[in-house]
Amino acid sequence: MKKIVLLVISIISIVTLINWRAPEPTVEGDLKNKVNFSGILITHQGEKYNIDNISVAGKYKQITMYDKPSKYPKAVYKAESKRREIQLDINPITDLAATKIDLSEIKELQVPEPNTTWTYQKKKKHRILKFTEVIIISNSDTKRHYLLERKTKIYCDEIDEAGPLEKIIPLPAIDRLIIEGYTFRNSVVGGTATKKPKPIKMPLQSTPITPEKPITDAK
């Protein structure tokens, strides 16, 4: 009997471990990235915010974006969602080139068609993947088009005299996200932001240094 009870407990433990999922990371509270990006965010509703602590889905580097396909179907208006939809026959995650982008490389992020959703569904009753087109303007003014998962959110703090206001902005709500610069923090939890120190250049020695004469014992 004891063996049966132990076997049941073991099975329950294994099932629990298999189905257990760690909580998703958040950027709420005092948790901030060690690099503090600041800039301006303008929404399609016309709101303009001076912001810092910018992250894309909690990340400031290695943000995955998928190259916009060169050939795709025409957008079709969907009455139920009141949006236009482009139904892809390829999965952007597996069939398109992925690009890893850092915020330090970006001058501006734009969302040109917030009411157009790019979708992919392998088969009926399978999960529908949804994407939004974004335009990335690099620091060298190069403009490229990508697809970013529509559920992506921009986390940031609105700069206010009374104190920072934490904001969560859905990707389709954004018209332009302008990155103006960044600083480094002393600590990722609560610490203050400090600018990255510039390397100090040591002056060149004008005359060669001659070694001292060896000290000998007096006779």
Could you tell me which residue, 217 or 9, shows the higher pLDDT?
Answer: 9
Of 183, 207, 200, nearest in space to 54 by CA: 183
Paired strand residues for 85? 76, 117
- pLDDT band at 30; cut points 50, 70, 90: very low
Burial (0-12, 13-18, 19+ Cβ within 10 Å), 143: exposed
Residue 208 to residue 215: CA distance in whole angstroms: 21
pLDDT at 46 over 90: yes
- pLDDT band at 123; cut points 50, 70, 90: confident
Highest-scoring range by mean pLDDT, 108-117, 182-191, 200-209: 108-117
Helices and strands per DSSP (H, E), number in the chain: 2, 14
Task: State percent of the chain over pLDDT 90.
Answer: 63
pLDDT at 175 over 50: yes
